[in-house]
Amino acid sequence: MDTFWDWFWLMLWWFCLFAYLIMLFQIVADLFRDRELNGWVKALWIVALLFLPFLTALVYVIARGRGMAERRAAEMSAAKQMTDDYIRATAGNGTSHSAASEIADAKALYDSGVLDADEFARLKAKALA
């Protein structure tokens, strides 16, 4: 490693290796994500990836790339929907679930006469803060 070009080519090879490994992991993840393929076809793809990795990865991306992108988009859409549902469920009207429950508990204590109006207002402000 005496010259700049030796380092340059080394870094280029490392980049290509990592890009290839990421692609292999994406292909394997897509194989397990696909519910339409049966187990034997998935096993054949895995075996092919082990024995002819570059050619198999190229064929997989060409043959199944569109479905790979669609499955990934569907997974991301489902994750976004679940996140939005969770946010709506916990946020409600802008307060968190725990703040709403604290206010409800304080209101119950206020209604039963344990707390006076000032203490209820202080607990409500604390819960909303």
Q: pLDDT by residue (tens digit) across 35-67?
A: 888 999 999 999 999 999 999 999 999 999 888
The total domain count for the chain is 2
Residue with tokens 């990421």: 22
Is 102 inside any structural domain?
A: yes
Is 50 inside any structural domain?
A: yes
How many other C-beta atoms can be found within 10 angstroms of the C-beta atom of residue 100?
A: 17
Query: Looking at residue 21, what is its pLDDT?
Result: 94
Sequence letter at residue 48: A
Is 83 inside any structural domain?
A: no
Q: pLDDT by residue (tens digit) across 81-109?
A: 888 888 777 765 554 557 777 888 888 88
Is 21 inside any structural domain?
A: yes
Same domain, 48 and 102: no
Domain closes at, from 43, 64, 85? 64
Query: Looking at residue 61, what is its pLDDT?
Result: 92
Is 84 inside any structural domain?
A: no
Same domain, 58 and 3: yes
Is 70 inside any structural domain?
A: no
CA 61 to chain centre: 22
Q: What are phi and psi of 59, to 5 degrees?
A: -65, -40
Same domain, 57 and 100: no
- Residue 87 and residue 60: Cα distance in Å, rounded? 37
H/E/C letters for each residue in 8-60? HHHHHHHHHHHHHHHHHHHHHHHHHHCCCCCHHHHHHHHHHHHHCHHHHHHHH
Query: Looking at residue 87, what is its pLDDT?
Result: 78
Is 78 inside any structural domain?
A: no
Same domain, 6 and 53: yes
Residue with tokens 């043959």: 63
Which residues form the domain of 59?
1-64
Query: Looking at residue 94, what is its pLDDT?
Result: 53
Same domain, 59 and 99: no
